[in-house]
Amino acid sequence: MKNKILLFIALGLGLVSAFITYNYLAGIEAKQHVELVDVVVANTKISAHTEIRASMLAWRKVPKDALHPDAVQNLQDLQGRITAADIVAGEQVLWSRLLPKGVVPGLAYNIPNDKRAVTVAVNEVIGVAGFIKPGDRVDVIATFAYDPPLTTTILQNVIVLAIAQDMASEVEPAAVVSTSVTFALTPNQAERLVLAESMGSIRLSLRPPDAVGIASNQGTNALDLQPLAYSKHGADLNSRHEVQGNKAAPSQKESVSAPIQNQTGKEIEIFRGTRREVQLVED
């Protein structure tokens, strides 16, 4: 009886082992018969708005089940095509990542979805002597001919889309003075810039690459400069500048001649900026 029980156990274990072995071998055979298909993948990262070249692409075999339904399977179909979005290295090239055939990406493709492109006229002074390049960020300073005149920063940290008609960030290694600058602005910012340009004059202030903060700003008018212009410190600076420029020149105190006693008339003090003059007016 005991031998029969052991025999049944052995037969059961044998059947289980045979079943496991069969399934394992069947799985290997199934893997060997997986249908593979060719697909075009990116050999390197391809940025948006880039014309595709053969060196950027590679062939790869993938299981048919892993083939994206929108994937490109013919290299010839990519001849001269331009990407609409970034394609990472190793990713299958999808038709949805490409611009329509024959379409050349213009400025509109560089504008963020929530922004608008606005162009202003510039010259060497307004445009920071030509050192602004596409991709830089600037502040926009406006001056209005109020009474008294007012200068204030109306926009901060706005991105430059293009200089003249050039949208490339590597336009020139040296500074090039252009006639226009195009910004990416929200509709509200665009209205503010257009109004400021029509009411006064604007100037651009180039920001460092890492300066992303927004500074509080109250503007400056002509009255704010008067205390500096007429202060003792301001006068001392002006006097020191004159002495350094011409050491032989007398100081302000020395340049004012003492009034002659036998002359008749009245002395009138005239201030020109921080300089004081004394003139004799005859009676």
pTM above 0.85, yes or no: no
For the ranges 55-69, 226-240, 244-258, the maximum mean pLDDT occurs at: 55-69
To which residue do tokens 């059947």 refer? 15
Tell whether the model's pLDDT for residue 176 goes beyond 90. Answer: no
* Per-residue pLDDT tens over the stretch 61-111: 888 888 999 999 888 888 888 888 899 999 999 999 898 887 777 777 778
Structure tokens at 156: 């901060």
CA distances from 84 to 24, 51, 93, 99 (A): 46, 10, 11, 5
In percent, the amount of the chain with pLDDT more than 90 equals 22
Q: Distance between CA atoms of 21 and 13, rounded to whole angstroms?
A: 12
Identify the pLDDT of residue 30.
58
Mean pLDDT of 42-66: 89
Identify the pLDDT of residue 256.
43
Which CATH code fits 36-97?
3.90.1210.10
Mean pLDDT of 115-122: 89
Provide the 3-class DSSP secondary structure of residue 97: helix
Identify the pLDDT of residue 210.
82
* Per-residue pLDDT tens over the stretch 119-146: 988 876 566 666 788 888 999 999 998 8
List CB contacts of 124: < 8 A, sequence separation 6 or more: 130, 177
* Per-residue pLDDT tens over the stretch 189-216: 999 999 999 999 888 888 888 877 787 8
List CB contacts of 265: < 8 A, sequence separation 6 or more: 280, 281, 282, 283
Tell which wins on pLDDT, 131 or 153.
153
